Structure formats: C-alpha cells, structure tokens
A = this chain, B = another copy of it.
Amino acid sequence: MWANNHVKQMLRTDFPIIQAGMAGGVTSPELVAAVSNAGALGTIGAGYLSSAQLEKYINQTKSLTDKPFGVNIFIPSNPKVSEAERNTANRALAHYLEAYDITLPECDSNPSAALFDEQMNILLHYEVPVVSFTFGIPPAPAVAALKQRNITVVGTATTVREAQLNQDAGVDVIVAQGSEAGGHRGTFTSDDSHACIGTMSLVPQMVDAVHVPIIAAGGIMDGRGVLAALALGAEGVQMGTAFVTCAESGANVWHKSAILSANEDQVLLTSSITGKTARGIENQLMRDLQPFENDLPAYPIQHTLTKEIRKRAAEENNPEWMSLWSGQSPRLSTILPAHTIIEKIVQDVEKRIFQFKS
C-alpha cells in the first residue's frame, strides 16, 4: 500500500505526500524545493499570484530542484456584493481602517477569471508536473490541455458529491479535505456548515464512491496521521499546517509562533475574514468580525477588503490583527526542516506497520 501506490506514480515522487499549495506567501520556492528534494511533492500556492509572480516562483523553484513539483490555483468566482454588505464591512473594520489610516479598497470588478486564464497559460507553458485546483471544478478545456501535456490534475473535494463532480471532470487524483484542515474550506457545492466532514468520516465514504485515487487532508501532521489515512483507504496525504511552521516556510514569524503555541481548541472556522469559511487560530480580528459574519461580502471581495489590514498587521508584528490559518493539530507542529519532517514520517510509518504485525 505504502510501497506501491497509484498516487506516487501520478505525482512521480518517492512518497505519496503532498505539501499543500497554501496561498499567501507560505509556500516559498525554498519550501517547495525542499519538500520535492525530500521525495514528496512541494506545491506553489499560486491562488493570489499574478502570472508574472507565478512565472518567477516556478523559475526559482526549478533553480532549487530537479524533482517534480506542483502548483495550486483557484477556480474563479464572481460574487455580487451589495451596498449593504460593503457598508457592513466598513463598519466592522472601522477600528482597523482608522488605526492604519486607510480606506476600504474598491472591488468593482473581479479579476479572478482573467487571472485564471493567465495562470493556466504559465502552467501549460512550463509544463508544471502537477496542477491542483481548489474552490471548484476545473473547466473542461483546462483539464484537456493539462492532460495533453501529461500534467497530473488534482481536484479538491469536501463532500462525496464534490468528489463525484471532480471525477466526472476527469481529474487524476482527488484531495479529500476533512474539517480538521487549516485555511480555506474547498467547498463549492453546498453551504459550509453541511460540508464540514471530519477526515475519519470523509475519506472512506469518498473512497467507496469514486474510482479516482483519494488523497487525505485535514489533521495529518506526522507518521501516525499518514498511516491512518492509508488505513482509511486514501492512497496519499496532503499536509499544510505541518509545513507552515517548518524551517523553509515563507510564513510570517508571528503566524509560525501562533501555531507553535496554540492548542487544538483555539483553532476555529470563520468566514468573516475573507468571505469564505477558513480555519485559523482565534484572535482579535476573528472575534471582532464574528458578529458580522453573515452580513459581509463574499469571497474574494471580503478577502480584498481585509488584505491591507492583515498585511500591515504582519509588518507591525501584531498577530492579533492577522489571519493565522491553521489546522486542528497545532500541538503537533514543529520547526524542523521539511526534509526531516518527511524522513520522520517515512520512518514512523514503517515502524508502525512493523509494530502492527507483532
């Protein structure tokens, strides 16, 4: 199972382990290359990258590794935002805007559809070995173009139905994102309260319903989680939080230290920071915005409205005003280098398989 599986072949890696393509600067070329050099799949989180930035990331990563790596991009959405929602955002963020002497940015047009096409062109041009998608189903022409270049296509699903839609779209592998996962929920078919399924429940139900290999995500931090995922029928794992705090991660030091010192019951879901439900460590920003949660603009508008505040907070070393995305296993986080995390997982999985026999 561990020694011989489809996912490893599809990813062209030694181990069926993906470092999640977390957007927002965590997935530095150093991190992505370190993960790939260690025999797993590093992934550039390109959700918010322009095509020029993406190109630069790809070239930097290629300069650091000859191994395969992946890029994650977002399926675009184009929500309508009402005047009332914008006013609510202004009111909810007033204290923050005043503190930084800034105003809410304009978000009349949504560039994400154009951005998607530009990102796809770069991925096709560079023939990036693995491309993964979040927040929806990749359009048929995109899937076809990737497959034509022998690029492995990875979808994301938070329910069995979402896995079936990914399978119908022709993806090669599906990441089952359990409710433990940090950062944004990948949910795209239902409201998030209905699609918050724990990894232990989600994986076997998804494995039974589709024939595409399943990669488990959510709460997996070490060899125990990896072996558990394989036991559930997954053929690989995707790990995010485990790599946020690692030595090569590009995450802000306050983000890292918040995870390293957090308990499992301090990591909550909220849609108030970006307009899309995401899991992170509770802080003042989350508490302040929570009462407005149902009346704020949808993603990506709310994301854009709070982005400058969170950026400034990071610059000014104020973790209470940042977004501190994390999964539900912060007690298992470490500052080890990526290759050590992966080596330890491989050793621990093998040790535990051996112990099972005795």
Contact = CB atoms under 8 A, between A and B. Distances in A.
Interface residues of A, number: 54
**Most chain B beta carbons < 10 A, residue from A159, A220, A228, A352:** A228
B222 A204 contact: yes
A329 B204 CA distance: 9
A357 interface: yes
A152 to B, nearest CB: 25
Contact of A228 (B2, B200, B332): B200
Interface string A191-235: 001110111111011001100000000111110110111111100
A231 to B, nearest CB: 4
Interface string A126-145: 00000000000000000000
A246 to B, nearest CB: 18
A288 interface: no
Nearest to A180: B198
A220 B221 CA distance: 20
Nearest to A233: B224
A320 interface: no
B204 A265 contact: no
A268 interface: yes
Interface of A: 1-4, 159-161, 178-180, 190, 193-195, 197-202, 204-205, 208-209, 218-222, 224-225, 227-233, 263-266, 268, 327-329, 331-332, 352-353, 355-358
Given A180-B201, A198-B200, A201-B218, 20 more contacts: A2-B356, A159-B265, A160-B265, A178-B200, A180-B197, A190-B265, A193-B268, A197-B265, A198-B198, A198-B328, A199-B200, A201-B328, A202-B264, A204-B224, A204-B329, A225-B232, A227-B228, A228-B228, A230-B231, A231-B231
